[in-house]
Amino acid sequence: MEKALLVHLTTKRNQMFEAEVSMQELCGLVESAGAEVMREVFQHRSRISPKYYIGEGKVAELRALLRDLQADMVVFDHVLTPIQQRSLEDRLRSKIIDRTQIILDIFAQRARSKEGKLQVELAQLHYLLPRLTGKGTGLSRLGGGIGTRGPGEKKLEEDRRRIQDRITTIKSSLQSIRKRRAHQRKRRKKSPIPVVSLVGYTNAGKSTLFNQLARENMLASEQLFATLDPVIRRVSFRDGAYCLLSDTVGLIKKLPKELKTAFRATLEEAGEADGLCHVIDVTSPHCLRQIEAVEAILSELGARDIPTLRVYNKVDLMPNDSRLFQKNQDPDRASVYVSARTGEGLPDLKRALHHLLFKEMRIFYLRIPKTEKNVIQSFPKWSIVLKRRENRQDCELKVMAEPGTMLRFSPYIQRGDTKW
């Protein structure tokens, strides 16, 4: 296992709390990438060094720590310029990784689908391209380990033209995938069946909740970004109504711009949904900041106005008095408190989700003569057909629809039919 030193620089005195929060998150990222954190190093400096990012005295301190702790690399909680990264590597004689690179590395490990792998490779190549200048095959000294996964050593040694050719090829492949995904979304939009997207900060418990609601067995892990590839499944309610539920990639503060661009098609699933479940880790001491980070990204995607249900997860890890206090903090929003792990609160969640999606709709029972084929065939286009049965003369339907749209079908509506 590789050993890492973590570095964070603040330029203002009042940023220390945010620095500790960000460093704690970086620690989780590095551990998720498969390395051991040996030491966290902070520095306050009035300005960023154009050459080393940190001060020269702190560089000397890091060199001593690398030797004493026998660490393999230094991970910066910032985005380094190519010049800063090269200067640090030359001075420290060690692997230098920035926040963007560590997140890209985790994505490279987690991607499973063809689309996910292409998206990660595209993001990594965009990140590496400006860092090839003046280094040539010298990049091969990075060897293996964190920061070199995905495109890999061979890709790092290619010249700029070949990398740009590869970027063009990947973009073309992703464009085809995006067209297919857009076509699928368009078809879903034409369908009356609502789509709900689970969104939230990484490690908030979205995949565990998805498994509970959809009765699936997807990978659910405490590691950050355990799930990358979007999955869509059907979720049924007690009255027979149902929706499509999609699990999206976890969001994070300071998400690298390369990943925002590469994963835009995946993130757009949230922007096209009829409703959102914003899953929140209620036990996190940084809960409010994580909510703000997720809502900021949703705004960028144009999803801020989509009806949203806040789902405060992991209540099983909270004392009862803390639960009552927490519930009083968010009285004006549609919110539910659950434990995806134990199942506590899931009936309340499904009731709230049903209300969010179907509050304007009602259930109707119809008996339509089979001679009215056009009428029968029209229902799936604008209503949710819950059940259908036939006899020799009639077709009986149980549908969910808005009352106003059912006025023209009043001759076929059956009153007080409770057999279904």
Residue-range domain boundaries for the chain: 2-103, 111-173, 192-358, 362-412
Helices (H), 147-275: 152-156, 160-190, 206-214, 257-262, 264-271
d(CA 286, CA 376): 53
Whole-number pLDDT of residue 63: 96
> Regarding beta strands 95-98 and 73-76, do their DSSP bridges make them parallel or antiparallel, or are they unpaired?
parallel
| Domain 2-103, CATH class in plain words | alpha beta
Query: Cα–Cα distance between 140 and 155 in angstroms, integer?
Result: 10
The confidence score (pLDDT) of residue 358 equals 93
192-358: CATH topology is: Rossmann fold (3.40.50)
**What tokens were used for 146?**
């964190």
**H or E, element range at 74:** strand 73-76
Give the position of tokens 């004006």: 332
| Dist. CA 246–CA 234, nearest whole Å | 9
Distance separating alpha carbons of residues 193 and 235, to the nearest angstrom: 11
**Closest by Cα among 374, 379, 373, 371 to 413:** 379
Res 187 pLDDT > 60: yes
Q: What pLDDT sits at residue 139?
A: 43
Q: How far is CA 346 from the centre of its chain?
A: 21
Q: Please say if the pLDDT value at position 296 is more than 90.
A: no
Q: Do domains 2-103 and 192-358 have the same CATH topology?
A: yes
Q: What is the pTM of this model?
A: 0.78
Name the token pair of 113. Answer: 């689908």
16 vs 30, which has greater pLDDT? 30
In whole angstroms, what is the distance from residue 331 CA to residue 334 CA? 8
- Whether residue 225 has pLDDT greater than 70: no
The enclosing H or E element of 39 equals: strand 35-44
SS3 of residue 46 by DSSP:
coil
Which residue type occupies 373?
K
Which range, 152-161, 205-214, 229-238, is most confident? 205-214
Which pLDDT band holds residue 133 (cuts at 50, 70, 90)?
Answer: low
Secondary-structure breakdown of the chain: helix, strand, coil percentages, each rounded to the nearest 5: 50, 20, 30
What tokens appear for 215 in the block? 């009765």
- Rounded to whole angstroms, how far apart are CA atoms 36 and 32? 10
Does the pLDDT value for residue 140 go beyond 50? no
Beta bridge partners of 6: 40, 75
Q: What average pLDDT score do residues 112-141 get?
A: 71
Tell me the per-residue pLDDT of 323-356, one tens digit each, with 9 for 90 and over: 555 555 565 568 899 999 999 999 999 999 999 9
Q: What is the dihedral of CA 81, 83, 87, 89, to 10 degrees?
A: 60
pLDDT for the residue numbered 84: 95
pLDDT for position 138: 41
Q: Angle at CA 404, nearest 5°, toward 400 and 408?
A: 95
> Using one digit for the tens of pLDDT, what is the confidence trace for 250-260?
777 777 777 66
Q: Are strands 308-313 and 335-337 parallel, antiparallel or unpaired?
A: parallel
The residue behind tokens 């620690």 is 27
